[in-house]
Amino acid sequence: MKLWQKNTDVKKEIEEFTVGRDPEFDMQLAAFDVLGSLAHTRMLEQVGLLGKEDLDALQQEMKAIYHRIVAGDFTIEPGVEDIHSQVELELTRKLGEAGKKIHSGRSRNDQVLVDLKLYLRHELQQVVQEVKALFDVLQELSERHKDKLLPGYTHLQVAMPSSFGLWFGAYAESLVDDVLLLQSAYKIVDKNPLGSAAGYGSSFPLNRQLTTDLLGFGTMNYNVVYAQMGRGKTERVVSTAIASVAATLARMSMDLCLYMSQNFAFVTLPDNLTTGSSIMPHKKNPDVFEIMRGKCNRLQALPTEISMLLINLPSGYHRELQLLKESLFPAISTLKDCLQMMAFMLPQLKVRDRIMEDELYKYAFSVDAVNAEVLGGLPFRDAYKKVGESIEQGTFAIPDSVEHTHEGSLGNLCNEQITTLMQQAIAEFNFERAEKALKELVS
């Protein structure tokens, strides 16, 4: 069954090539397709395009289909093109003429769009929850290890004293900025395209505000042409937010690969979380972080991949837009997997203590020595020269104490303030509005 089928059979080769993997990815949209139809049919009854008796029957049957989907007891039959066709087919089998009425006032174009918006809204919420879980781990580790010094590097050369508190906390605050990008993506996703039809609206007296409210959207895509142009743009914005989170994970993975090497030996993992070598008995390889680095580097290419699909498209719908699902859907799953794995691995790390007592890191304290001279009254340039000469002459001595007290420094991590920033960012999503609306829709 195809919603667009008339009296001409399309050749099998054409159908297989154009449909591609759509049924596979449509199963991820199935529950959201039914939610869209639940709202749409209530709107059709409200504007007089559907009778109350038909509405009640359709609502009851669609809720049953929804619960089957959630339970994993639903499939797209062979020969049925997509999820929209499967749902309409089942409704028509069960309810007859009433099932044929659900497509009034919409096109498969805006049906796909609302499915995607609902799906992406749901997935972004899950990503944010996974980011928050990792953030909490990082903040706890930052506080636990805040007094353990760690060499900081610039140009991969020993630079100044850092700490595990600073290092864990840095990635926590990076996730705050990533959440702000996810928030921007969510706000673009959180707009209702339903009622834009094929991109030029409908002559039916649709009530688009009603479906917006029923589906818990923050607002709607008002201009019907732009609603269709949003296909692709929405995915690109979401992919940019995904890439930002992935960049944070990839960078931390790289740090961990370095820190676990024998040349650094700042952290270790239990043997059962590492792999070995087929010929070198001593090896403990950080394969999890290497795989994570590779996956997250690939995710950072996602915005470019999506942009290349969109690069020469005029306004209106074009069939290659369906290929966006093949890029974006697996990427979201990959990101969630990486977030969960990082949150699992980090608490297992054993952090080495007293690292900075090694003679190797002696000169990391040179800036503190300069600053001590300045605090004693010497001009900075003279202090810099004095300490530099002591290094050249081999007479440099580490200061008796290291005092870093300003906001965000060794002795003042500002983790509470960073936590507040994260809490504020997550609160602005207002996930509760959508959750409440969809719960009422299927109750």
d(CA 39, CA 177): 35
Residue with tokens 């066709």: 85
**CA atoms lying within 13 Å on the CB side of residue 167:** 25
Phi, psi for residue 154 in degrees, rounded to 5? -130, 140
Residues 120/426, Cβ–Cβ less than 8 Å: no
Label the pairing between strands 157-163 and 191-192: unpaired
Contacts of 94 (CB under 8 A, 6+ apart): 61
Q: Is 203 a residue of the active site?
A: no
Residues 398/369, Cβ–Cβ less than 8 Å: yes
Q: Is 277 a residue of the active site?
A: yes
Q: Which amino acid is at 360?
A: L
Residues 430/218, Cβ–Cβ less than 8 Å: yes
Q: Which of 261, 277, 315, 333 is catalytic?
A: 277
Q: What is the CA radius of gyration of the chain?
A: 28
Residues 162/351, Cβ–Cβ less than 8 Å: no
Closest to 118 in 3D by CA, of 43, 193, 62, 68: 193
Q: Which of 155, 203, 406, 443 is catalytic?
A: 155
d(CA 190, CA 423): 20
Closest to 179 in 3D by CA, of 124, 226, 258, 229: 124
Active centre residues (catalytic):
155, 277
